[in-house]
Amino acid sequence: MKNVPIKNKEILDVLNEFLWYYDNKDFIQKNLHLHGKAKDRDFYVGAEYRDEVIAMDEKHEGFPDAGHSYALKADRLEHLKGSDSKAADLIARYSNLNEKLCTLLSTRNNALTQLYPPNGFISWHNNANASAYNIIFSWSETGEGNFKYVDGHTGNEVVMQDVKGWQCKAGYFGAYGEPWHNRVYHAAETDCWRITVSYIFDRTDMSSGLQDDILEEIMSDY
């Protein structure tokens, strides 16, 4: 995984529109289902559970087993606790923002859009069942959070500290059957409000080249 500086103003402008969810967090807390429990954070992002997941090898499905956050994607709003009009408004908002980013990033596959409250997290997992090149945008209220992963070559845990505001990471999540070092066991946690918006491509050489082109766009201030 690598950090990618966001210099493209068009992309930043659209990302900043996602801050509506933070600015209206009282509405989100009242109307959306908060998944998971904050008290489980230390275990599911800790070394013991990390090693358990790694030891499971291919018996680990790939998706995370636990987390504490609000799902914002349109297909995850079945948990909406309110009127149909509220659901329609949230679906329309997400769809509009997603369409804008998809157009700028030349992709159609939004893998994740989540709002994490303080003590939010996503547990250790590897996405081996959904292997792809990826671009992950995250926003942090104060920078008190992190994304961490196991380096497939060294076996060491690498912590990528959040910064206040937006940042971008990119990499490749390998599939079972590929060399072990292609697997990216990862987790994230936060002490403050945090937003994650991620997009994936497929596993082809063309997607690898497309990811490189898009990263150049993200880093360009033109």
Check whether 80 has a pLDDT greater than 80.
no
Of 222, 129, 167, 151, nearest in space to 159 by CA: 151
Structure tokens belonging to residue 49: 């559970």
Give per-residue pLDDT as tens, 105-131. Answer: 888 789 999 999 999 999 999 999 989
Instruction: Provide the pLDDT for residue 195.
Output: 98
Pick 210 or 30 by higher pLDDT: 30
Check whether 84 has a pLDDT greater than 70.
no
Instruction: Provide the pLDDT for residue 61.
Output: 95
- Residues of the chain with pLDDT > 70: what percent? 94
Q: In what order do the strands lie in the sheet with 132-140?
A: 2-4, 165-173, 132-140, 194-200, 110-116, 70-71
Instruction: Provide the pLDDT for residue 108.
Output: 75
Instruction: Provide the pLDDT for residue 89.
Output: 87
Burial of 2 (0-12, 13-18, 19+ CB in 10 A): exposed
pLDDT (mean) for 70-95: 78
Beta strands (DSSP E) in 120-204 are: 121-125, 132-140, 145-150, 157-161, 165-173, 186-190, 194-200
Contact 21, 195 (CB under 8 A): yes
Contact 216, 5 (CB under 8 A): no
Instruction: Provide the pLDDT for residue 40.
Output: 98
Q: Which structural domains are found in the chain, ordered by start?
A: 2-219 (2.60.120)
Instruction: Provide the pLDDT for residue 207.
Output: 66
Give per-residue pLDDT as tens, 142-170. Answer: 999 999 999 999 999 999 999 999 999 99
Instruction: Provide the pLDDT for residue 201.
Output: 82
Give per-residue pLDDT as tens, 37-65. Answer: 999 999 999 999 999 999 999 999 999 99
Of 20, 1, 5, nearest in space to 166 by CA: 5
Confidence of residue 206 (pLDDT cuts 50, 70, 90): low
Helices (H), the chain: 9-17, 20-23, 25-31, 41-44, 47-56, 84-105, 205-219
Contact 190, 144 (CB under 8 A): yes
